[in-house]
Copies of this chain bind each other. A is one copy, B any other.
Amino acid sequence: MEHGLLEKLAQTKRRLRIGECLYRTGEGFFFLYIIRSGFFKTTLIDKEGREQITGFHMSGEMMGIDGIATDIHACSAFALENSEVCLIPYQQLENTDQSSEAFQHFLRKALSHEITRDENMMMLLGTMRANERVAAFLLYLSQSYLARGFSRYEFYLRMSRAEIANYLGLKIETVSRILSSFQSMGCIETQQKHIVIHDLEKLKHLDSKNMTRSHPLS
């Protein structure tokens, strides 16, 4: 995936502490970011100040593409743990000769991937029940960790219950209750942010069978 060009441009790095903001809604768009390590959330804020988390992002993912449309960042990005990102100057990309082919293609893929991701989220928010959403969320995390070489059965949540709830369009008490119910079903075990998945299949069935509604996340 185009590591040659990216490496050349991505010479600047930035470290962020937990809670720090990488970019903010309304700021000018100058960089694309590739997450080297750590964990982020991206959020939208509406006029009344209500926050909506639009995504969680981990190492290898690109962030910032929301700024391309208007040259202004449409959402904000916050580090949920100490993190490191590579900065890719966007203007240089547009001007670079070598960018014309392979990178353009890569960028388009990234954008389109983002669209797919968002549309899956719309499906989740539009059609799934609370327990299906939480199950889909756990499966999404499991899948993400697996893809990065970590255990798919055991991991630490980087986000709070409130952030999970917000992301899934639920309330914090509902998320907590559902996690407890999954635990009493023997699907999972939770100790605060530490999650162990005992029965991945049961979770998948919740996600796709329970109460005649479904669809996975990403």
A122–B125 contact, CB under 8 A? yes
Q: Given the known A-B contacts A112-B111, A115-B115, are A125 and B46 also in contact in the complex, defined by CB atoms under 8 Å?
A: no
Closest to A109 in B: B69
A123–B75 contact, CB under 8 A? no
Q: A50 within 8 Å of B by Cβ?
A: yes
Chain B residues near A115: list those with CB within 8 A. Answer: 65-66, 69, 74, 111, 114-115, 118
B-contact 0/1 string along A166-183, CB 8 Å cutoff: 111100000000000000
Q: A8 within 8 Å of B by Cβ?
A: no
Interface residues, chain A, with chain B CB atoms under 8 Å away = 44, 46-48, 50, 52, 54, 65-70, 74-75, 94, 100, 104-105, 107-109, 111-116, 118-123, 125-127, 166-169, 208-209, 212-215
Contact residues of A: prevailing secondary structure: helix
Chain B residues near A94: list those with CB within 8 A. Answer: 105
Nearest Cβ on chain B to A3's Cβ, whole angstroms: 19
C-alpha gap A33/B213 in the complex (Å) = 32
Give me 7 other A-B pairs in contact (C-beta within 8 A), A48-B208, A111-B115 excluded: A69-B108, A69-B115, A74-B116, A94-B105, A100-B100, A107-B108, A118-B118
